[in-house]
Amino acid sequence: MSHPDRSLSSRELLKRIGLNEASANNLLKDKPLDELLHELDGDLGTVLLERYAALNINHAFQPDELVCWKPGLRNRRAPTYGTPAVVLEVLDPPIHDGEQESGSTYFRAPLGLVIGLLWNRDPHCGDFVAFHVDGRRFEPWRGLSTRP
């Protein structure tokens, strides 16, 4: 019994995973560092130390609490800045991301929070989804924010 050809064009495959011309996600281009520093209004050393200090501010989260990214510490596509997520579970001890590539930003990341949010992309836009995240990168959500 023969099976129909189920191969996808590269365009259709990219569309299915959320990468298409309408929602361009240029994953291979880096923003020039001098442009980034201009936007940050500071020198690279100061910005690095500020981000490191922010990463090390710990919050004792509880299930049913709303959280959001700390400024400048977002390392995942969802949730976006200024969008709340609800804490579903606090993992103690955290589990470590199983990423095998040491050059990845997720390599051995301590995933101490399970958060829930509304998915904002098709398909399944509006569905409630859960993610394991590094809780050090989150802070309590204080309502609408003008942060990045």
pLDDT band at residue 42, thresholds of 50, 70 and 90?
low
Is the model's pLDDT at 27 over the cut of 50?
Answer: no
Q: Which CATH number fits domain 31-140: 2.60.40, 1.10.490, 3.30.1380, 2.30.30?
A: 2.30.30
Predicted local distance difference test score (pLDDT) of residue 89: 97
SS3 of the chain: the string is CCCCCCCCCHHHHHHHCCCCCCCCCCCCCCCCHHHHHHHHCCCHHHHHHHHHHHHCCCCCCCCCCEEEECCCCCCCCCCCCCCCEEEEEEEEEEEECCCCCCCCCCCCCEEEEEEEEECCCCCCCCCEEEEEECHHHEEECCCCCCCC
Q: What is the pLDDT of residues 78-125, one digit of tens each?
A: 999 989 999 999 999 999 988 888 888 888 899 999 999 998 877 888
> What residues does each domain of the chain span?
31-140
Q: What is the pLDDT of residues 12-22, one digit of tens each?
A: 656 665 555 55
